[in-house]
């Protein structure tokens, strides 16, 4: 798309990679090791918010890990993740604000990743947040403001941005 104002051009704010293990212990440590290996960033553990006795799950127990990437490292990982999905994602994976998420079944589908028997095979979720310059006004401590509706990114704009910049095919 051609934008008359450079402040209207969408960009990737962040890419969050998440592995849900479902339990703490050795499997969670292996998932953290994998995320650290893929991104070079130390993962943060995620905790359960509910108690589910049937699954032997307690409130506050660590059940997953995630990494948030920004800038060039986010774009590099995103291109690698699109490669694992054969550069095809579905239109239903986009929300109304232009963000999108998709999953990778096996991490060995990523480029230049070899199977490590110590770690095993893991699937992961990749969440991408798209914004325009100026979105920081919603995060400021002083004089926090809402983003005007005319400046919000739509689903269609986000799809066009991903098609143009990453060469991804969007299926119905």
For the chain, what is the largest distance between any 2 Cα atoms, rounded to a whole number of angstroms?
Answer: 56
Distances in Å between the alpha carbon of 51 and those of 25, 60, 91?
18, 9, 34
Helix intervals (H) in the chain: 26-39, 72-84, 155-166
* DSSP category for residue 124: E
pLDDT, one tens digit per residue, over 77-89 is 999 999 999 999 9
Give the pLDDT of residue 128. 96
Contacting residues for 94 by C-beta, under 8 A, at least 6 apart: 100, 155, 158, 159
How far apart are alpha carbons 14 and 12 in whole angstroms? 6
* pTM exceeding 0.95: no
pLDDT at 2 over 90: no
pLDDT at 31 over 80: yes
Delineate the domains of the chain, giving CATH numbers in brackets.
6-165 (3.30.1440.10)
- HSE value, Cβ hemisphere, 13 Å, CA-based, for 71: 2
pLDDT, one tens digit per residue, over 84-136 is 999 999 999 999 998 999 999 998 888 888 888 888 899 999 999 999 998 88
Paired sense of beta strands 11-20 and 62-69, if any: antiparallel
């Amino acid at each position: 798309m051609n934008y008359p104002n450079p402040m209207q051009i969408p960009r990737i704010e962040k890419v969050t990679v998440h592995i849900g293990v479902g339990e703490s212990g050795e499997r969670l440590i292996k998932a953290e090791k994998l995320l650290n290996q893929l991104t070079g960033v130390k993962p943060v553990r995620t905790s359960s918010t509910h108690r589910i006795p049937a699954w032997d799950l307690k409130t506050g127990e660590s059940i997953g890990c995630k990494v948030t990437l920004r800038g060039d490292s986010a774009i590099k990982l995103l291109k690698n993740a699109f490669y694992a999905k054969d550069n095809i994602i579905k239109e239903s994976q986009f929300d109304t604000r232009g963000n999108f998420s998709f999953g990778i079944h096996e991490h060995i589908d990523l480029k230049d990743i070899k199977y490590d028997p110590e770690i095993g095979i893991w699937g992961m979720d990749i969440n991408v947040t798209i914004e325009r310059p100026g979105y920081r006004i919603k995060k400021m401590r002083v004089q926090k403001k809402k983003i005007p509706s005319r400046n919000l990114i739509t689903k269609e704009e986000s799809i066009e941005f991903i098609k143009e910049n990453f060469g991804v095919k969007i299926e119905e």
